[in-house]
Structure 1
């Protein structure tokens, strides 16, 4: 329990932790998604079919699985700051080297290695945020950090398009792998694992956070013996893995092929034009994503904040295949992107409400590892079905089916577990925000 404070508590953590982490992961997301802008402009290089292109996008997520749980445990037991630093340096080098590939097989390997090093970053940062933001702020903190996902596409899709108009796809990959190596310096000096270790935070704010976080932990039920195995055997954790898999299958299936759809709408426009138009859906997604997280924190309705946007996404994805005209289809692409990004903040607030800090690391690593296998399934399915049918309609219809399964799992599987956010006594919703 924590006492109410007579004066507002400073909130420097929002200005230090979130922006540095967001820019770091924005660079990671660029190195992951730049291939979606590049693929339509490879002009036969490496002789990639649509199925091959889907595999290039999807094989990243096979590598992505392996370091999820080890990195999460390292972040919790050792240091999230140091874990992310090592991975940042490794993925930056891997991203640049992927521009030097000469064969299709080498491209697959390069994407696998990139996924391997990027894989541990997501759970490590979630552990970091759990050490800085109490549960009543968690969805907003998650969403503001995860806003780097659509923001990266807003900024980098036009940049990648412009670079492709002035350089080969190989040089684009090489140059875009360099910024993480530079940002690693900023990360090392600006980020601390917990409030007590940060030089820039006041003792009042650090003490307030330590009390709030301790109260959150005390309010959580104990999970068996407190072992990792006890945590991951819980039914809600298994359901979250299923939800994330089916959602991410639709999410990345849509994301990888979005620039190709936009290119078709522009009747084979320039790379710069396609990059600028591709940024529009992600701009809408950014706004909706943050608004949904704020609503989720204020109401505690995590389930609805995940399920309702996915239902909208299903409708928009299916309707987009049935309408004609560039403007209506572009509007539906914007609606689909917003709906698929909106659940991020609320979804990743749920594990922290269910599990104690000592076990939540491995649970989040497992959810992210197995769920992100959908990142392999989605892009490959769309590419393979496009080759098989000569149209992308079937592929996007299948993605809608995957999203529908995610909605059912949220509505039925999470009903007993995902209740309102617990607020420790004496803490108000406004403090620290």
Structure 2
């Protein structure tokens, strides 16, 4: 469905506006979150090689992966509000130091219960980083650039797996899993120094940006805000009670259940395909699906910004993911299964940029922080449900087939919600061509 949006405001030709923000803000934020994602997901590579330490069953391993997301809930909204009202730069800095210390301490656990607590604490401190960075990006990139900015930053998710899974595998070949966890908690402490000197909360506070670029960004964002319906500018409670926000929470929960259920167990599946290959071999093979996911994720976001079709950019990849997950359980042979793992990885990562462009399209800046924090907090509980369900069902049935079939069902609910629950918005985002297109 095509809708008519407001007429574009006169602006300088795009090529006349400097774009240093793409080279400064995105890379520093991406590396920062790449380190967070490493400390979150390194257990997926480590768990198959713990060799009976802590006596973890498959359900216990799923709980180790999933309990992170229980802690992840608590700082979502407080950190979003701090980022908006105080400083995204300072909020992320404090959380970066805290999660780095917590990640290193995870390697010192002696019991299963301590492992659970350590992972919970790590999730607690990492939880506020995501919404704080989304607030930061909303201050630097207008709506018609937002999906690409989000996707380029969020490209750190598959890129982290591309680079860090082989690194974790190599480290496991040369050190104990405890030392791997301890050492991988150190880089965030070092990157905090770079973050402090390289990042500014807004264009007018950055020393490296030209006045022309700062003025362009501020004018564009002000025009975006002025064009949003005033009905969405009320209190925090009014914003989060909107149907669209509630639907986005549901979409994110069911999508993330499938996403992390697949992610946590991917190295274990590849280990089976290689007939118990070495950690280095498994780590290198695990990087392949995430390399493909990285390219697809950026391409899908660019298409979403160009056309304004946010809903389709979320729903279509998830449909592909459902098909690949189900086919992967039905085919035999290492190569066909590996190809389907690659397709699934690309499909579950592709919606990230377009999805997180939708809240900023629907809500004014003064309330979008809380809405995004709530979406991320409740949606990421799926990160607990997915890994635990796969582990528990594997223990019960003796096979991962049932678990992955259930994950495909969760993805199907996400598709239904984003397709039927989110109707095209009254004010679609203007695509780059300046022509109106379908909104969220």
User: Offset of 1:226 from its aligned partner?
Assistant: 1.4
1:298-317 matches, cutoff 5 A: 298-317=306-325
Distance 1:299 1:90, change over 3 A: same
Distance 1:158 1:359, change over 3 A: same
Residue deviations 1:261-313 (CA, integer Å, cap 9, x gap):
00000000000000000000000000000000000000000000000000000
**Partners of 1:223 and 1:12 in 2: how far apart?**
34
Residue deviations 1:227-275 (CA, integer Å, cap 9, x gap):
1001001000000000000000000000000000000000000000000
User: Offset of 1:180 from its aligned partner?
Assistant: 0.1
Residue deviations 1:51-103 (CA, integer Å, cap 9, x gap):
00000000000000000000000000000000000000000000000000000
Distance 1:7 1:308, change over 3 A: closer
User: Offset of 1:187 from its aligned partner?
Assistant: 0.2
User: Offset of 1:417 from its aligned partner?
Assistant: 3.2
User: Offset of 1:321 from its aligned partner?
Assistant: 0.3
User: Offset of 1:380 from its aligned partner?
Assistant: 0.1
**Partners of 2:176 and 2:207 in 1: how far apart?**
44
Distance 1:4 1:368, change over 3 A: closer
Equivalent residues of 2:165, 2:284 under 8 A apart: yes
Deviating 4+ runs (over 4 angstroms): 1-9, 424-433
SS at match of 2:436: coil
**Partners of 1:168 and 1:3 in 2: how far apart?**
58
Equivalent residues of 2:308, 2:438 under 8 A apart: no
Equivalent residues of 1:215, 1:424 under 8 A apart: no
User: Offset of 1:415 from its aligned partner?
Assistant: 1.5
User: Offset of 1:24 from its aligned partner?
Assistant: 0.1
Count of equivalent residues? 432
Equivalent residues of 2:428, 2:439 under 8 A apart: no
Equivalent residues of 2:247, 2:421 under 8 A apart: yes
Equivalent residues of 2:68, 2:122 under 8 A apart: yes
**Partners of 2:232 and 2:101 in 1: how far apart?**
42
> What's the Cα RMSD here?
3.8
1:147-226 matches, cutoff 5 A: 147-223=155-231, 226=234
Per the alignment, residue 5 of structure 1 pairs with 5
SS at match of 1:223: helix
Equivalent residues of 2:165, 2:287 under 8 A apart: yes
Equivalent residues of 1:62, 1:373 under 8 A apart: yes
- Unaligned runs of 5+ residues in structure 1 are none
- Unaligned runs of 5+ residues in structure 2 are 10-17
Normalising by structure 1, report the TM-score. Answer: 0.96
User: Offset of 1:223 from its aligned partner?
Assistant: 2.9
**Partners of 2:255 and 2:436 in 1: how far apart?**
30
Equivalent residues of 2:253, 2:382 under 8 A apart: yes
Normalising by structure 2, report the TM-score. Answer: 0.94
Equivalent residues of 1:140, 1:297 under 8 A apart: yes
SS at match of 1:66: coil
Distance 1:418 1:151, change over 3 A: farther
Distance 1:154 1:37, change over 3 A: same
Per the alignment, residue 112 of structure 2 pairs with 104
Equivalent residues of 2:308, 2:439 under 8 A apart: no
Residue deviations 1:383-406 (CA, integer Å, cap 9, x gap):
000000000000000000000000
**Partners of 1:425 and 1:55 in 2: how far apart?**
44
